[in-house]
């Protein structure tokens, strides 16, 4: 499954590895972000569950292989290549940071150790699924932090970059701290609480707004949220209030939310509906929510869509997947890219978290006292080691991990960067490689990560 959902060059390289007799060399690739997106001081790792599903299900159908055979790029490919693709399954190891963990540039989110051909082909899909959920979980954490205890619900499927993105956004937003989503499929697939009552079309479909509200109350009882801005928000609030209990509250979706929420609060209170809540939605983000909170707007919950699921102020995450080691005939070689501004550090790594900083070290180094290793084994020789934590567990982990970070890191604007150190051994390795590019450094392959 999904074999062809990759960049063509992964497959031309795969054919080339077969041609050069390198397909079974054991490669180690690391996936990490190069830089923080603008205004971000951390990102929340997310998407591991989908990455694992992909790796465990990876295969090529006969039709896909026939398609490749017909492409000019494979006209000279060795016949053996197509046989290898036909049998290809992921047979390697995956180490990964637990979903919900805040991470920083240069720290591997996951490490693949597998035959070179497999490790290469999986690059594109892994990047796409990890980057997107990581970006949305991060955006959600920012919005939830700003909402200061008020509930935030993810409402963005319609504005996500494709329907699948909507489902994954719901999952990632939940991990990042939202209380739930409007995406029903995500609710079913991932056990996420689902929310939603009615749109403007509901009100418009009745000849009378009050009748629309009455029917909604009949259907939803204490879960009823009236959308009151189809014609006039204040009139809508009066009609909602006139129906009394049961209700959850009302939703505002346009206009000046600060002023309107106060006026609507007064209308609800006058009707004795003190427990009725006000939800606000409509192109919200962490900055607008901060203004509303600072202004003391009586809003109890926020519905956030477009800006959350597209991470609109930073809609890309510069995640990369880089070859750091290659073992062949019992010899391990470290590799790095030295391009201007895009240099990478060689060798498999481990990240240790301390109270106020992280240490990135070579995977084979002894663990430093007091540091918590972030990369854990997930798949070994193609088999999953243990069931992954649920989205709810990832959400709890994110909340606890964020609370443990220095407060400045959780600011909406760029703050003093979180301290990430590199071990002396790693720095020395990088320096040696810079002196001898291309050739890399050879060392006995015995000290693999498993031996660390």
Q: Indicate left, alpha or beta for 272 from its phi (over 0: left) and psi (-120 to 50: alpha).
A: left
Q: Is 204 in the site for a second copy (CB under 8 A)?
A: yes
In whole angstroms, how close is the CB of 76 to a second copy at the nearest point? Answer: 6
Q: 302 vs 87, 204, 250, 280, 282, CA distance in Å?
A: 49, 23, 12, 5, 9
Q: Is 249 in the site for a second copy (CB under 8 A)?
A: no
Nearest to 113 by CA among 419, 378, 407: 378
**Applying CB under 8 A, which of residues 93, 209, 358, 365 lies at the interface with a second copy?**
209
- The 162-181 contact track toward a second copy, x by CB under 8 A, reads xxxxxxxx------------
Q: Cβ closer to a second copy: 146 or 157? A: 157
Q: Indicate left, alpha or beta for 300 from its phi (over 0: left) and psi (-120 to 50: alpha).
A: alpha
Q: Indicate left, alpha or beta for 47 from its phi (over 0: left) and psi (-120 to 50: alpha).
A: left
Structure tokens at 128: 């796409």
In whole angstroms, how close is the CB of 99 to a second copy at the nearest point? Answer: 16
Stretch that binds a second copy, among 89-97, 151-159, 351-359, 397-405 (CB under 8 A): 151-159
The DSSP letter of residue 381 is T
Stretch that binds a second copy, among 2-10, 90-98, 350-358, 360-368 (CB under 8 A): 2-10
Q: Is 1 in the site for a second copy (CB under 8 A)?
A: no
Q: Is 207 in the site for a second copy (CB under 8 A)?
A: yes
**182, 195 Cβ separation under 8 angstroms:** yes
- The 327-366 contact track toward a second copy, x by CB under 8 A, reads ------x-xxxxxxxx------------------------
Spatial distance between the Cα atoms of 448 and 417, rounded to a whole number of angstroms: 32
Nearest to 112 by CA among 249, 10, 181: 10
Spatial distance between the Cα atoms of 143 and 445, rounded to a whole number of angstroms: 46
Q: Cβ closer to a second copy: 261 or 401? A: 261
- The 119-148 contact track toward a second copy, x by CB under 8 A, reads -x--xxx-xxx-xx--x-------------
Stretch that binds a second copy, among 93-101, 263-271, 362-370, 438-446 (CB under 8 A): 438-446
Q: Is 223 in the site for a second copy (CB under 8 A)?
A: yes
Structure tokens at 141: 């954490």
């Amino acid at each position: 499954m999904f074999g062809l959902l990759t960049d063509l060059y992964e497959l031309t390289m795969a054919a080339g590895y077969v041609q050069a007799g390198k397909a079974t060399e054991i490669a180690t690739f690391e996936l990490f972000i190069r830089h923080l997106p603008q205004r971000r001081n951390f990102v929340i790792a997310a998407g591991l569950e989908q990455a694992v599903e992909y790796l465990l299900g990876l295969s090529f159908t006969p039709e896909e292989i026939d398609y490749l055979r017909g492409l000019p790029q494979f006209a000279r490919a060795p016949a053996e290549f197509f046989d290898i693709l036909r049998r290809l399954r992921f047979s390697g190891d995956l180490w990964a940071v637990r979903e919900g963990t805040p991470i920083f540039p240069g720290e591997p989110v996951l490490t693949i150790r597998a035959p070179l051909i497999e490790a290469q082909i999986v690059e594109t899909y892994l990047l796409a699924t990890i980057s997107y959920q990581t970006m949305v979980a991060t955006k959600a954490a920012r919005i939830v932090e700003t909402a200061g205890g008020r509930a935030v619900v993810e409402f963005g499927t319609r504005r996500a970059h494709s329907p699948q993105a909507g489902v994954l956004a719901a999952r990632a937003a939940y991990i990042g701290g939202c209380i739930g989503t409007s995406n029903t499929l995500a609710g079913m697939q991932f056990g996420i609480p689902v929310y939603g009552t009615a749109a403007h079309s509901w009100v418009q479909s009745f000849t009378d707004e009050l009748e629309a509200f009455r029917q909604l109350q009949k259907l939803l009882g204490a879960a009823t949220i009236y959308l009151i801005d189809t014609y006039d928000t204040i009139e809508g609030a009066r009609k909602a209030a006139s129906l009394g209990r049961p209700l959850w509250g009302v939703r505002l979706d346009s206009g000046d939310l600060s002023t309107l929420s106060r006026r609507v609060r007064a209308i609800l209170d006058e009707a004795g509906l003190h427990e009725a809540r006000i939800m606000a939605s409509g192109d919200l983000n962490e900055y607008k929510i901060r203004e509303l909170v600072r202004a003391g707007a009586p809003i109890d919950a926020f519905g956030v869509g477009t800006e959350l699921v597209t991470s609109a102020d930073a809609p890309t995450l510069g995640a990369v997947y880089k070859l750091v080691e290659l073992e062949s005939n019992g010899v391990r070689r470290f590799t790095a890219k030295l391009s201007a501004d895009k240099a990478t550090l060689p060798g498999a790594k481990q990240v240790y978290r301390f109270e106020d900083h992280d240490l990135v070290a070579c995977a084979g180094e002894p663990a430093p006292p007091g540091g918590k290793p972030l990369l854990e084994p997930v798949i070994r020789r193609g088999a999953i080691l243990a069931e992954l934590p649920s989205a709810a567990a990832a959400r709890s982990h994110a909340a606890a991990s964020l609370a443990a970070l220095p407060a400045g890191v959780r600011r909406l604007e760029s703050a003093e960067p979180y301290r990430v150190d590199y071990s002396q051994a790693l720095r020395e390795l990088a320096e040696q490689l810079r002196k001898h590019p291309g050739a890399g450094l050879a060392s006995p392959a015995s000290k693999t990560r498993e031996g660390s």
